[in-house]
A and B are shown apart, each in its own frame.
Chain A
Amino acid sequence: MADSAAFEILYKEYYPRVFALCRRLPLRHECAEDATQETFTRAYKTFRQYQSDKPFWHWIAAIAHNHCIDRLRLDGRWQEVDMSAEADFDQLASADALTEDVLIAAENQSQLHNAIDRLPEKYRLPFVMAYQVQLSYDDIAVLLELNRSHVGVLLLRAKQQLRAKLTAATKGG
């Protein structure tokens, strides 16, 4: 069993981040609360397996991710990522990266968040893991049971869709 006092400190510190992650993964408010609790419960049970040389945030985010996927599967809202269709690197459409002013404008208008929420789950998950949780490509690859290049492909796809959406929204606005 985990050291309760130590874990309680971690729980208080990381609760907001895990909750935000569960919201993004995406579960509605009440479900996200439950999922956050469940994430910490699982983490508490397996705290001994946590290797302290790695960031706690990365470890618990992975647990949250797995739990949310389980929830989505149970609710019938999760479709397995078919990587075979994504692995053709040469077919990737090229697109310009977003300039900072577009992103800053999008941030202020919450357009970025909306655009992220509207990403297909197979793109949103690695995107959130990369830029919200700050996991490396390698860690995401382990989590999603993919290889690193596939993670790159998914991220690139995610960014391409975001760029298209944000650019259109900025122009339209």
Chain B
Amino acid sequence: MAHQSQLQLMMYAESALHPQEDAGQVTAVSSHLTSCHECRSLVATLQAEARSFSKALALSADAQSLQAPNPSRFRRAHPLRDLTLATLMASLVTGLVQWSWKALFEELVLSAVAWGTETWTPSTYALANRTFLFFQEKGADMLNNYLALIIAVLGVLALFGLRSIWRKPGIFPALLLTVAGSVTLFGMAPPSHALEVIHQEEAVVIDASETINDTLIVAAQDVTVHGNVEGNLFVAAEIVTVTGNIAGTLIAFAEDVLVTGNVEGMTVTAGDSVEFEAAMLDGDLWLAGDSIELDRDTIAKGNLVSGSGSLDMAGSVAKDLFAGAERVSISGDVGEDVELSARRVTVTDSAEIGGDLSYRIPGEEELELGGNAVIRGDISYQGKPDNFQARNPLAHHDFYLWSALWFIAALLVGWLAMTLFPKLAQLDLGDARDSLKTAGVGFLALVSVPVMAVIVAITVVGLPLSFIAIAIWLTAWYLAKIVVAHLIGKAILEKPEKQPGLVLSLLVGLLIVTIAIHLPFIGGAFNLVATILGLGLMLQLWLNRNKEAASD
């Protein structure tokens, strides 16, 4: 008698034959078993064997008692709280960077460099010195103000988040709000400064005899500052009048802003009417409003950047003037270049421009140029003001060409990088908490590496290290978006039962990223977030490489 195959008997013994699909086999085996004692015995043994395997592979008591690690990543997400805490941390880190910049770079390093230049100046060293002295002159304030602005924005976000989380008063929220406020102002004020906050309905007047030794924040209906503010002044009101001296930055938001005093730092104002009368402004001016006027006695030692309905500039601007307005009138002095975009431009006889005058207006006849106006550089008509279509890169063929090239290059580089370093393809953002940690690390890397590279570069030995660090940083910057694109592609295509392929994930992710970073208005923000997250992921991967190597 021909026996059934062992495969059939095994599947029959383990009920792996379907009564319907394998009806023929089931019938054949069943009828065979009724007449074959040998096969019946084998089936019984196979069943016992299968049970034994299952029993042997069941978890032992020891294994069952294995404790799962802390399951924090599966706890209920608190995105708002996490975001707020991450914002606070980012503020703190930025503040530390700024403090380091001021305390180490400006105070110690540059002083040492200046001293060194006088005593010993081999060519490379002199070149480095000149570079950093240039930074001191041109870049320190810029970076400082830039960091301060970031901190201010992060601080406001943090305050908003905290307020949203803890609506009920209590000691803990109050404490955190205080910390958040302090962190915010830590970046704005010089390190030694404290903080004074005034918030009231009626008018606030700082008398001429009064000196505020701290950074001052004021929110009121009318704010008048006749006295001195040793720190920064932030003011939000209907009417703001500053006749005193501000040692730091002035940021004012009001319907009417009038400045007749001195501002030693940057000036940022926005309002319906912004006027400067006999003001002495040491830093750059960033102005926005319906009407902006600088009278003939106003002196600005930095650049003037404005966006307004009308701009009347009768004063003196030591550096460049960039303005976009319906109507621009220049009757004062500008030390360097003037770039204008307006419907009508008037340069009066009394105007003097040290550099070039370039302007965009609907027609050349809209420029009224006084015959006695002095323009030392070139005068160039740039055509009509940019309209949306002209500004919109999507309207140009070049945009699509370069985007396609970027896409292809990123795909190739991404594939190569992830093939050579498979761990890059394994990166994962994790839960909200991990993502925030990654964002924090990425933000830190984005901001701190260039600063540290500059600091390291002050020594001859450190200069090559600095170049290497910057090269790595730039490479990581480029790869960051590719890594995030792969994550996005993987997340979209991921299924529990199957992981998507590398090329397909990159293709989908890069397509989305390429589109997203070019979206109007939000593209830049997406680009920044993707870069920060990508940098954070790669930096964490690098920091954890020893652990990974050990586990492999």
Binding site for B on A (CB under 8 A): 1-2, 4-5, 7-8, 11-12, 15-17, 19-20, 24, 28, 30-31, 33-34, 37-38, 40-46, 49, 59, 62-63, 66-67, 70, 74-75, 89-90, 92, 94-100, 103-104, 106-107, 112-113, 116, 127-128, 130-132, 134, 136-137, 142-143, 148-149, 151-153, 155-156, 159
Contact = CB atoms under 8 A, between A and B. Distances in A.
A96 B6 CA distance: 9
Contacts of A5: 76
B528 interface: no
Given A19-B63, A43-B496, 12 more contacts: A4-B75, A11-B68, A20-B63, A46-B494, A66-B496, A90-B5, A92-B5, A96-B42, A97-B45, A131-B50, A131-B53, A132-B54
Of B67, B73, B76, B496, the most chain A CB neighbours within 10 A belong to B496
A45 to B, nearest CB: 8
B137 interface: no
Interface in B338-395: none
Contacts of A49: 496
B52 interface: yes
A159 B77 CA distance: 46
A131 B57 contact: yes
Contacts of A38: 428
A12 to B, nearest CB: 5
B14 interface: yes
A136 B431 CA distance: 33
Nearest to B49: A97
Interface in B1-20: 5-7, 10-11, 14, 16
B551 A4 contact: no
A66 B498 contact: yes
Given A12-B68, A59-B496, A97-B42, A2 B57 contact: no
A11 B63 CA distance: 15
Contacts of B11: 137, 149, 152
Interface in B65-89: 65-69, 71, 73-77
A59 B497 CA distance: 9
B59 A16 contact: yes
Contacts of A130: 53
A134 B54 contact: yes
B546 interface: no
For the complex of A and B, list the 3 residue pairs with the smallest distance between their C-beta atoms, beginning with the closest.
Answer: A15-B68, A30-B551, A137-B16
B64 to A, nearest CB: 5
Contacts of A156: 6-7, 10
Contact of A148 (B16, B53, B54, B67): B16
A8 B75 contact: yes
13 contacts: A11-B68, A11-B74, A16-B59, A17-B59, A31-B552, A44-B74, A67-B499, A92-B7, A103-B52, A112-B56, A131-B54, A152-B7, A155-B10
A8 B431 CA distance: 14
A97 B422 contact: no
A44 B432 CA distance: 13
B136 interface: no
Nearest to A5: B76
B195 interface: no
B438 to A, nearest CB: 14
A15 B66 CA distance: 8
User: Interface extent on B, as a size class?
Assistant: 35 or more
A12 B71 contact: yes
Nearest to B53: A131
A106 B73 CA distance: 40
A137 to B, nearest CB: 4
A107 B64 CA distance: 18
Given A75-B552, A97-B49, A103 B496 contact: no
A24 to B, nearest CB: 8
A32 B461 CA distance: 44
Contacts of B42: 96-97
Contacts of B66: 15-16, 19
Contacts of B494: 42, 45-46
Given A131-B54, A132-B57, A152-B7, A159 B16 contact: no
Given A31-B552, A41-B428, A100-B48, A4 B57 contact: no
B430 interface: yes
Contacts of B171: none
Nearest to B75: A4
Given A92-B6, A107-B56, A4 B63 contact: no
A169 to B, nearest CB: 14
Nearest to A75: B552
Contacts of A106: 56
B225 to A, nearest CB: 50
A70 B16 contact: no
B426 interface: yes
Interface string B37-58: 0000010011011101111111
Contact of B73 (A16, A41, A74): A41
Contacts of B496: 42-43, 46, 49, 59, 62-63, 66
Contacts of B52: 98, 100, 103-104, 107
A62 B497 contact: yes
A11 B68 CA distance: 8
A103 to B, nearest CB: 4
B543 interface: no
B420 interface: no
Contacts of B53: 103, 112, 127, 130-131
B52 to A, nearest CB: 4
Contacts of B552: 31, 75
B76 A4 contact: yes
Nearest to B25: A149
A37 B77 contact: no
